[in-house]
Amino acid sequence: MGLPPPAPLLLGLLLLLDVLRPLWGDLVFIPAFIRMTGPAVSASLVGGTEDVTVSLALLQDKEGLLPTPACGALTNETGDWSLTVTPSVVRPESALDVTVRLERGLQGCSANETDPFSEPPCIVQTLLVSASHNSSCLAHLLIRVEIYANSSSARNASENVTVIPNQVYQPLGPCPCNLTAGACDVRCCCDQECSSDLTGLFREACFTGVFGGDVNPLFDQLCSAQGAPEAPGWFPFLCVQSPLANSPFLGYFYHGSVSSRPQASAEVYLHTDLRDFSDFGYKQGDPIMTVDKAYFTIPQVSLAGQCLQNAPVAFLQNFDVQCATSLEVSQEQDGIINAKIKNGVLGGIVTPRVIYEEATDPDKFITRTETLLSNGSAPRNVNVEEHYIFRWNNNTISEINVKIVRVAINAHQKGIMTQRFTVKFLSYNSGDEKEFSGNPGYQLGKPVRALNANRVNNVTTLHLWQSAGRGLCTSATFKPILFGENALSGCLLEVGTSENCTQLRENAVELLDSLIQATHVAMRGNSNYNDPSDGWVEIIRADAPDTDTGADPSVSVNGICTDIPARLNVRILSSDAGAVEGITQQEILGIETRLSLVNWQFQCGLTCEDKADLFPVSASVQFIKIPAQLPRPPTRFQINFTEYDCNRNEVCWPQLLYPVTRYYQGEPYSQCMAKGLLLVSFFMLAVFLSSPWARTCQV
Output the pLDDT for position 400: 92
Which string of DSSP letters, residue by residue, matches 462-511?
-EEEE--TT-BTTT-EEEEPBTT--EEEEEEEEE-TT--HHHHHHHHHHH
What distance in Å separates the CA atoms of residue 236 and residue 552, rounded to the nearest whole number? 93
Q: How is residue 157 annotated by DSSP?
A: T
Output the pLDDT for position 475: 80
Reduced to 3 DSSP states, what percent helix, strand and coil does the chain have, rounded to the nearest 5? Answer: 15, 30, 55
What distance in Å separates the CA atoms of residue 460 and residue 539, rounded to the nearest whole number? 13
What distance in Å separates the CA atoms of residue 279 and residue 397, rounded to the nearest whole number? 12
Q: What is the 3-state secondary structure (H, E, C) of 92-108?
A: CCCEEEEEEEECCCCCC
Which string of DSSP letters, residue by residue, matches 121-148?
PSEEEEEEEEEEETTEEEEEEEEEEEE-
Q: How is residue 72 annotated by DSSP?
A: T
Answer yes or no: are the C-beta atoms of 384 and 418 closer than 8 Å.
yes
For 338, other C-beta atoms within 10 Å of its C-beta total 8
Angle of CA points 323, 325, 331, to nearest 5°: 115
Which stretches of the chain drop beneath a pLDDT of 70?
1-26, 61-78, 105-121, 148-172, 219, 225-231, 244-275, 330-335, 368-377, 431-434, 456-459, 468-469, 497, 543-559, 604-610, 628, 638, 641-644, 691-699
For 138, residues 6+ apart whose C-beta sits below 8 A from its C-beta are 26, 27, 47, 52, 131, 132
Answer yes or no: are the C-beta atoms of 45 and 94 closer than 8 Å.
no
Answer yes or no: are the C-beta atoms of 483 and 445 closer than 8 Å.
yes
One-letter amino acid identity for 476?
A: A
What distance in Å separates the CA atoms of residue 34 and residue 140, rounded to the nearest whole number? 12
Identify the CA nearest to 14 among candidates 53, 59, 82, 69. Answer: 69
For the chain, the C-alpha Rg in angstroms (whole number) is: 42
Answer yes or no: are the C-beta atoms of 124 and 145 closer than 8 Å.
yes
Please state, in angstroms and as integers, the Cα–Cα distance from residue 120 to each residue in 33, 79, 112, following that order.
Answer: 22, 22, 11
Answer yes or no: are the C-beta atoms of 626 and 575 closer than 8 Å.
yes
What is the end-to-end Cα distance of the chain in Å, rounded?
Answer: 82
Given strand 40-46, what is the order of strands in its sheet? Answer: 28-30, 40-46, 95-102, 81-87
Answer yes or no: are the C-beta atoms of 56 and 5 closer than 8 Å.
no
Please state, in angstroms and as integers, the Cα–Cα distance from residue 362 to each residue in 43, 380, 381, 475, 559, following that order.
Answer: 62, 14, 12, 10, 36
User: Helix and strand tally (H, E) in the chain?
Assistant: 8, 28
Q: What is the 3-state secondary structure (H, E, C) of 612-666?
A: CEEEEEEEEEEEEECCCCCCCCCCHHHHHCHHHCCCCCCCCHHHCCHHHCCCCCC
For 175, other C-beta atoms within 10 Å of its C-beta total 19
For 63, residues 6+ apart whose C-beta sits below 8 A from its C-beta are none
Q: For the stretch 405-426, what's the b/e string if a residue is b when 16 or more beta carbons lie within 10 angstroms of its beta carbon?
A: bbbebbebbbeebbbbbbbebb
Answer yes or no: are the C-beta atoms of 340 and 352 closer than 8 Å.
no
For 442, residues 6+ apart whose C-beta sits below 8 A from its C-beta are 448, 483, 484, 524, 525, 574, 585, 586, 587, 588
What distance in Å separates the CA atoms of residue 363 and residue 415, rounded to the nearest whole number? 11
One-letter amino acid identity for 537?
A: V
Identify the CA nearest to 415 among candidates 383, 371, 379. Answer: 371
What distance in Å separates the CA atoms of residue 493 and residue 614, rounded to the nearest whole number? 5
For 126-181, the pLDDT digits (tens) are 888 888 877 778 888 888 887 766 544 444 434 445 566 666 666 667 788 888 87
For 236, residues 6+ apart whose C-beta sits below 8 A from its C-beta are 223, 226
What distance in Å separates the CA atoms of residue 178 and residue 669, rounded to the nearest whole number? 55
Given strand 136-147, what is the order of strands in its sheet? Answer: 33-36, 136-147, 123-133, 53-59
For 482, other C-beta atoms within 10 Å of its C-beta total 20
Q: How is residue 36 annotated by DSSP?
A: E
Output the pLDDT for position 154: 41
The pTM score is 0.43
What distance in Å separates the CA atoms of residue 170 and residue 225, rounded to the nearest whole number? 22
Cα 273 to chain centroid distance, Å, stands at 29
Identify the CA nearest to 148 among candidates 124, 183, 128, 180. Answer: 124
Cα 553 to chain centroid distance, Å, stands at 54
Identify the CA nearest to 482 among candidates 634, 555, 402, 586. Answer: 586
Please state, in angstroms and as integers, the Cα–Cα distance from residue 447 to each residue in 65, 194, 300, 322, 540, following that order.
Answer: 96, 73, 21, 18, 19
Conformational region of residue 289, where left means phi above 0, alpha means psi within -120 to 50, and beta covers everything else: beta
One-letter amino acid identity for 53?
A: T
Q: What is the 3-state secondary structure (H, E, C) of 353-380?
A: EEEEEECCCHHHCEECCCCCCCCCCCCE
